[in-house]
Every structure is written in C-alpha cells, then in structure tokens.
Homo-oligomer: A and B are copies of this chain.
Amino acid sequence: MRTIAVDAMGGENAPKAIVQAVLQAKAELTDTKFILFGDQKKIRKLVGSDQDRIEIVATSEIINDEDEPVKAIRTKKDSSLVVAAQFVKQGKADALLSLGNTGSILACGIFIIGRIKGIARPGFMPTLPVKNSDDGFNMIDVGANAKSKPEYLLTWAKMASYYAEKVRGVKNPRVALLNNGSESDKGDDLHQSAYQLLLDSDLNFVGNIEGNELLEGKADVVATDGFTGNAVLKNIEGTSSVLIHLLKDKLLNSGFMVKIGALLIKKALKGLVSKFDVDKYGGAVLLGVDAPVVKTHGRSDQRAVYFTIKQIDKILKENIIGEFRSEFAVKN
C-alpha cells in the first residue's frame, strides 16, 4: 500500500477541488492510501463518511503565498504543509502533494524530508508542453537553486532522464543543455563545464538548446542552472499568458464581426490555452529529496489535481526514489 500525504489547504480551490480529486483518484488507485492535512471539519464534510484508505489529520495553520518560505515552515509548525511533510519524514506517508507556496514546498522537501545521500542539491522539475506532440519535456532546475555548479546539472539531468523514461515512458530520452548558442564551446564557465560532463556521461546527450527552441520538442530533458531555468520558466508562463490575454482582448474589442468569429473559434482556442497550461502534465517534482515532493499550480482544479495524484502514484510505483538512492549512493 502506497500512502500520499496531501496538503488539502493550498491553492485557490482548496480544500474542495483537492478532496474531490483525492476521492476520484482513490476509486481508481485501489492500492493507494491518502492522508489529508488541514481544516478537519471542512475536509470531513467533503469526504463524507468514507473511511476506506482515507485519513484526515487536523492542522490549525495555513502557509500563504505571501509568507516568506523558509521562515514560514519554521514558524507555522502546525500548518497543513509542514505537518504533511513531517508525516513523510517519519515514514507515515511516502509522498507529498501541495498546491501551496512553492518556496515553502521546496523548503519542506529540502529541510524536513531531506536530500538523498549523494545528491548535493535537489532540482525542481516541471513537465512543459512542446509544439507538435503531446509528449512535453522536463526542464530541471527551474529555481530550487539560485547558485548552480556543473556537477549539479549533471545530477539533475540524470534524475530527469530516469524520470522521463520511467514515469513518462520516453525511450532513451534526449538530454540537452540550455545554453546561449548551439556550438559546444558556448556559454560561461558553468555551462562549458556542464557541457563536458554531460558529453562524458552515459546520458543520450544531444548538445545545447537555445531559449527559442525549448518548445520545439528537440529534447525530452533540458538541464539548466536554477537561475536561468527560473527566469525562462516564468517567462514561458508570462509570455503565453500575455499573448492569450491580448488575443482575447482583440477578439472582444474589434467589432461585431470579429466577435462572431471569436464565438466560432472558441472551442479551438480553448484547446490551445490548455496546451499551454503548464500544469497539464501533472505537478513539478522536487527531484533529489528522499520522497516524491510534488507541487501543482495554485489555480489547479479537480482534474489537474487528479492527474497530479496519478503522476505521484506512478513515481511511487516505479520506485524512482529507491533507484536514486542506490544510483547516487554507489556512484558519488
């Protein structure tokens, strides 16, 4: 039996969307148990009388997006997130899911659950969409680390490649390095050294990738330093959100005929927007800590949370953490 600790209080649609997603997933994943952390009364009302593979742990505090991440996990000790992380640390649960404050989730993973031995720095990894396929790609690190070293990038690439293969089913994942040009000598010292490490590794390294090529589907895994990865990830979100906003604005304010046209294309447009919803592929995973720690977007609805639960269940089923433990304990 696998057990997932669910912070039921994070995100805009908490706890309702989260609890409903848990109930939906539970019906399907018959070998998985769920522990929900948060406002017991509210959660119980949503869960109803169901007590099969579901447990509620009452907590009295909530970490908000406005909270300073590290300070919050130190001061809000009875928050749904911190107590859920403690359950994982104590072995009472196998994985952590939250829709809350990203920085606090990362801090819970690193400081409460802790690193896998042999992994110097965990990396934060979303799955992002690509142009002409539904496969997407993994980018790591997107901001768990402001400061990166070449060997971190190698470790991140190894973990992400393994993840892409086992969880997303990509055969022999193509690994690329985000750099400022395609040639092998591109980049600053960090990226030049990372290039060499990746080249000398047994990964399927396909070379450098540039910022404009990320969504083209040229790689299954993109390794990047956490600073650049953070800027680029946020920029993908920002650019697509501004473009979609401008498109909607244009369609609504360009006269009657355009409005009619907008009605006719509405459904097609919706598909486009969902393609660029970076949460479609489940949550972002903090790889390198001693349990799956998964953050999904605060805006997530029941469906998005449901997919994230399935993703976590797959990570547990494939024993990704166990593999990392033996891989990095031996080689590092």
Interface residues of A (CB under 8 A from B): 68, 131, 143, 146-147, 178, 180, 183, 186-189, 191, 210-216, 224, 226-228, 230-247, 250-251, 254, 257-258, 260-265, 267-269, 271-272, 275-276
A210 to chain B, nearest CB (A): 5
CA distance A242 to B215 in the complex (A): 7
Query: Interface majority SS on A: helix, strand, loop or mixed?
Result: helix
A268 touches B258 (CB 8 A): yes
CA distance A260 to B263 in the complex (A): 11
Candidates B228, B243, B251, B262; contact of A231 at CB < 8 Å: B228
In the A-B complex, the 7 residue pairs with the smallest Cβ-Cβ separation, listed nearest first, are: A261-B264, A211-B234, A212-B238, A211-B235, A212-B234, A261-B265, A254-B268
A246 touches B275 (CB 8 A): yes
CA distance A227 to B268 in the complex (A): 37
Given contacts A239-B240, A241-B212, contact A232 B232 (CB under 8 A): yes
Closest residue of chain B to A245, judged by CB? B131
A188 to chain B, nearest CB (A): 5
A272 touches B258 (CB 8 A): no
A180 touches B238 (CB 8 A): no
B212 touches A237 (CB 8 A): yes
Closest residue of chain B to A129, judged by CB? B242
Residues on B with beta carbons closer than 8 Å to the beta carbon of A246: 131, 272, 275
Residues on B with beta carbons closer than 8 Å to the beta carbon of A147: 188-189
Residues on B with beta carbons closer than 8 Å to the beta carbon of A180: 143, 146, 226-227, 230-231
CA distance A244 to B242 in the complex (A): 12
CA distance A233 to B214 in the complex (A): 12
CA distance A328 to B231 in the complex (A): 30
A209 to chain B, nearest CB (A): 10
B238 touches A213 (CB 8 A): yes
CA distance A224 to B235 in the complex (A): 14
Closest residue of chain B to A215, judged by CB? B242
Closest residue of chain B to A276, judged by CB? B243
Given contacts A240-B239, A246-B275, A272-B250, contact A234 B263 (CB under 8 A): no
Residues on B with beta carbons closer than 8 Å to the beta carbon of A245: 131
Residues on B with beta carbons closer than 8 Å to the beta carbon of A237: 211-212
B211 touches A230 (CB 8 A): yes
Residues on B with beta carbons closer than 8 Å to the beta carbon of A257: 264
A187 touches B146 (CB 8 A): yes
A306 to chain B, nearest CB (A): 25
Residues on B with beta carbons closer than 8 Å to the beta carbon of A183: 68
A130 to chain B, nearest CB (A): 8
Residues on B with beta carbons closer than 8 Å to the beta carbon of A189: 147
Given contacts A214-B238, A237-B212, contact A251 B227 (CB under 8 A): no
